[in-house]
Amino acid sequence: MSYIYQIRPVIGEEEKQAVVEYLDSGGWLTEYERTREFERAIAQLIRKRYASVVTSGTVSIFLALKALGVGPGDEVIVPDFTMIATANAVLLAGARPVMVDIEPQTLCLDISLAESVVTSRTKAVIVVSINGRCPDMDRAGAFAQAHGLALIEDAAQAMGSTWRGKPIGSFGYAGCFSFSPHKIVTTGQGGAIVTDDEDLIERVRRLKDFGREAPGIDRHVALGFNFKFTDLQAVVGLAQLKKLEERLGRKKELFRLYQEYLRDVPEVSFLSTDLSETVPWFVDILVPDPEALKAHLDAHGIGSRRFYPPVHTQEPYRIDASYPVAEEVSRRGLWLPSSISLDDETIRQVCGVIRAFYKVKTPV
Ligand SMILES: Cc1ncc(COP(=O)(O)O)c(C=O)c1O
């Protein structure tokens, strides 16, 4: 059995063809018409009026915050369990991330706990849809509104997932996505901000293009950056979007297969997951001893990945505080091989190795 990665990008003939055709067309590589097309496709998918694509998911959150005017002296609520980029984007904007514990059933921000950290300095709340799941978004919206906060969705892991039939990433004032190599849709690197707010998207567009008044004009109305996308990436993204249903469907099937093959292993638990709404980006399990299971999988040529440590335990954010749910899931969580290129037989083999570790007989 060759090494099984926990995740790897899946690029097909369509993407290769699209890149070759684009290069043959004499395009300038940087963002132009194909990028606009990709933005329209993303906006349509999330059912928002506007999308602007940028260099990464981190930058998408950073720019959403900057465009909202969040900066030094401000506070932004973030979940204590997330990929560190969520908190980094807040710090980059000059504001202070204030961590809040998560719900055990979704691994997402616990809105009821967020109430207690709101101060006059709080300007925004970032809900992160960990692995395509999300908290009660009506409640998140009501919480933000009650306190006059901007609701930002970090939907980096949630393209294609919904809550009550509505796309994740469409609930907030701004929704942020990532196209890094292990995401549902990848363009190598990249990110997107989606919104219905024309002013917000205009500010984002200026900020990502040196603060230009309008593209191609060297009059700068604000301090800006260069966070532009490239048409070369856009054609890859567009090719992937054409196969989105297939890509989402395979993620769900993988999750279903793992559940089936590991159902009778008492040490392994899955989070309750409604596959009609959630696209599990990574297959996540909770076990008593993830490090030992990981070592066992490694020894059998199978990659896996421990859950993120809680943000408050990471060096740039270290504080002496307790976030019991984030700590508990970080201690127990493991991500299993989740690439959509894996076939059913490989998943069965991976599960066989897990079953052997827990000494549960595999029926022949
Ligand atoms: C929840 C979350 N937010 C933000 C990011 C950052 O995205 P990027 O790697 O594109 O900067 C990631 C990336 O893995 C993520 O998982």
Give 58 Cα–ligand 1 centroid separation in angstroms: 6
Catalytic (active site) residue 16 = no
Distance CA 53, CA 190 (A): 7
C-alpha closest to that of 100 among 120, 73, 127? 127
Give 190 Cα–ligand 1 centroid separation in angstroms: 10
What is the pTM assigned to this prediction? 0.97
Among 56, 58, 65, name the best residue to mutate to test ligand 1's pocket (greatest count of ligand atoms within 8 A of Cβ): 58
Ligand 1 atom with the shortest distance to the CA of 183: 14
Quote the pLDDT of residue 216: 87
Quote the pLDDT of residue 363: 75
Quote the pLDDT of residue 282: 98
Quote the pLDDT of residue 364: 66
**205's torsion region: left (phi>0), alpha (psi -120 to 50) or beta?**
alpha
Burial class, 10, CB count within 10 angstroms (exposed 0-12 / middle 13-18 / buried 19+): middle
pLDDT in tens for each of the 364 residues of the chain?
Answer: 699 999 999 999 999 999 999 999 999 999 999 999 999 999 999 999 999 999 999 999 999 999 999 999 999 999 999 999 999 999 999 999 999 999 999 999 999 999 999 999 999 999 999 999 999 999 999 999 999 999 999 999 999 999 999 999 999 999 999 999 999 999 999 999 999 999 999 999 999 999 999 888 999 999 999 999 999 999 999 999 999 999 999 999 999 999 999 999 999 999 999 999 999 999 999 999 999 999 999 999 999 999 999 999 999 999 999 999 999 999 999 999 999 999 999 999 999 999 999 999 887 6
Q: Are 2 and 332 in contact, with CB atoms under 8 Å apart?
A: no
Distance CA 343, CA 348 (A): 9
